[in-house]
């Protein structure tokens, strides 16, 4: 009976893994089968490096370079905002947080992870956009109506915090306690022991959290649409509006047809390749750390 259960569960796990691989494969086939021909019709470099997106004009232009830059700028801004705050918060929760405060802080972080994107978007529209418009636009005279790269970066920086905090905290707690105790025994202060010994030992897990946070930032759509301005143009500064790859797909897929629709699917291919490159870079870095 025990052998039967083990064999049965072996096949259950096998078919679960097979289903996951099949799902990813089907997504890849759909994207590339529909997107690559569109790149061929438009021209590969015209599509990737073109600076004008005007599918309804005659002739139509399908250049996604402004959206590529928009996605990169907003993601980079989110990393600058979210990664330091997330890592420092995780270190505090894992090493220095009082137990009573931890019982409040941990559920609060988990709650952040469960808030829908549209709610984050509403928060940004009501709070962050007016603040950026009043402080940077009116008080400092830097212009802009508040819907900008800066606003989207601040919002995404908040949205990636739960991912970075949870994974980083788990990685820090997984480091053997002997490393910290040994550093303290040798005369290191508490902070030096944590940042000089524990954090380097947990680097692989911390990098995983950062990579997942970057993936969340690149793939976010609804919240970005509400605060980024959605202008399909080259970035003109962090206080000006921009459109991302995901926003471009969502805003136009509902009425697109023909080559326009194929170009939007090709945009999804570019986004997919971006995520793939990020994961490959993480794998390379991880292998380098293990050597």
Mean pLDDT of 250-254: 87
The answer to whether 289 and 226 are in contact (CB under 8 A) is: no
Asked whether residue 29 is assigned to any structural domain, the reply reads: no
The answer to whether 52 and 263 are in contact (CB under 8 A) is: no
Predicted confidence at residue 143, as pLDDT, reads 67
Asked whether residue 178 is assigned to any structural domain, the reply reads: yes
* Most confidently modeled range among 8-17, 79-88, 254-263: 79-88
Q: Counting beta carbons within 10 angstroms of the beta carbon of residue 234, is it exposed (0 to 12), middle (13 to 18) or buried (19 or more)?
A: middle
Predicted confidence at residue 165, as pLDDT, reads 93
Cα Rg of the chain, angstroms? 23
Predicted confidence at residue 74, as pLDDT, reads 93
Return the bridge partners of 53, or none.
62
Predicted confidence at residue 288, as pLDDT, reads 60
- pLDDT category at 67 given cuts 50, 70, 90 is very high
Lowest mean pLDDT among 32-41, 141-150, 158-167, 256-265: 141-150
Query: What single-letter DSSP state applies at residue 61?
Result: E
* Boundaries of domain holding 228: 67-290
- pLDDT category at 2 given cuts 50, 70, 90 is low
> CATH number for the domain including 231?
1.10.3720.10
CA–CA separation, 211 vs 217, rounded Å?
A: 10
Predicted confidence at residue 113, as pLDDT, reads 86
Asked whether residue 185 is assigned to any structural domain, the reply reads: yes
- pLDDT category at 95 given cuts 50, 70, 90 is confident
- pLDDT category at 141 given cuts 50, 70, 90 is low
The residue among 207, 221, 197, 211 whose CA lies nearest residue 277 is: 211
* In the predicted structure, residue 291 carries a pLDDT above the cut 60: no
Query: What single-letter DSSP state applies at residue 200?
Result: H
CA–CA separation, 198 vs 209, rounded Å?
A: 16
Mean pLDDT of 1-9: 77
Lowest mean pLDDT among 1-10, 18-27, 200-209: 1-10
* In the predicted structure, residue 164 carries a pLDDT above the cut 90: yes
Around 142, how many Cα atoms within 13 Å sit in the side-chain half-sphere? 14
Mean pLDDT of 71-85: 93
Asked whether residue 45 is assigned to any structural domain, the reply reads: no
Asked whether residue 41 is assigned to any structural domain, the reply reads: no
Predicted confidence at residue 279, as pLDDT, reads 80
Predicted confidence at residue 1, as pLDDT, reads 61
* In the predicted structure, residue 88 carries a pLDDT above the cut 90: yes
* In the predicted structure, residue 231 carries a pLDDT above the cut 90: no
Q: Name the average pLDDT for the chain.
A: 87
Predicted confidence at residue 78, as pLDDT, reads 93
- pLDDT category at 6 given cuts 50, 70, 90 is confident
Asked whether residue 14 is assigned to any structural domain, the reply reads: no
**What's this model's pTM, rounded to 2 decimal places?**
0.86
Asked whether residue 47 is assigned to any structural domain, the reply reads: no
Burial 20-34 (b: 16+ CB within 10 A, else e): eeeeeeeeeeebbeb
Predicted confidence at residue 126, as pLDDT, reads 92
Around 143, how many Cα atoms within 13 Å sit in the side-chain half-sphere? 7
- Our count of domains for the chain comes to 1
Asked whether residue 172 is assigned to any structural domain, the reply reads: yes
């Amino acid at each position: 009976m025990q052998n039967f259960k083990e064999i049965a569960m072996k096949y259950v796990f096998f078919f679960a893994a097979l289903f996951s691989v099949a799902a990813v494969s089907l997504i890849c086939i759909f994207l590339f089968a529909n997107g690559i021909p569109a790149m061929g019709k438009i021209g590969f470099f015209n599509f990737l490096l073109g600076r004008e997106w005007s599918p309804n004009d005659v002739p139509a232009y399908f250049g996604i370079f402004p959206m590529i830059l928009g996605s990169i700028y907003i993601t980079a801004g989110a990393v600058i905002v979210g990664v330091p705050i997330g890592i420092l918060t995780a270190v505090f929760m894992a090493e220095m947080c009082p137990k009573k405060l931890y019982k409040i802080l941990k559920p609060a972080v988990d709650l952040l992870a469960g808030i829908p994107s549209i709610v984050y978007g509403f928060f940004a529209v009501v709070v962050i956009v007016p603040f950026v418009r009043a402080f940077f636009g009116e008080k400092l005279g830097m212009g802009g109506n508040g819907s900008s790269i800066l606003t989207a970066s601040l919002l995404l920086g908040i949205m990636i915090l739960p991912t970075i905090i949870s994974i980083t905290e788990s990685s820090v707690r997984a480091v053997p306690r002997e490393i910290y105790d040994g550093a303290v025994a040798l005369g290191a202060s508490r902070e030096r022991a944590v940042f000089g010994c524990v954090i380097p030992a947990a680097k692989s897990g911390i990098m995983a959290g950062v990579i997942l946070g970057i993936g969340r930032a690149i793939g976010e759509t609804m919240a970005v649409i509400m605060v980024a301005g959605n202008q399909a143009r080259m970035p003109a500064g962090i206080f000006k509006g921009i459109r991302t790859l995901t926003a471009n797909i969502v805003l136009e897929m509902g009425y697109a047809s023909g080559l326009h629709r194929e170009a939007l699917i090709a945009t999804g291919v570019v986004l997919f390749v971006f995520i793939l490159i990020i994961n490959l870079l993480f794998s390379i870095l991880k292998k380098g750390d293990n050597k």
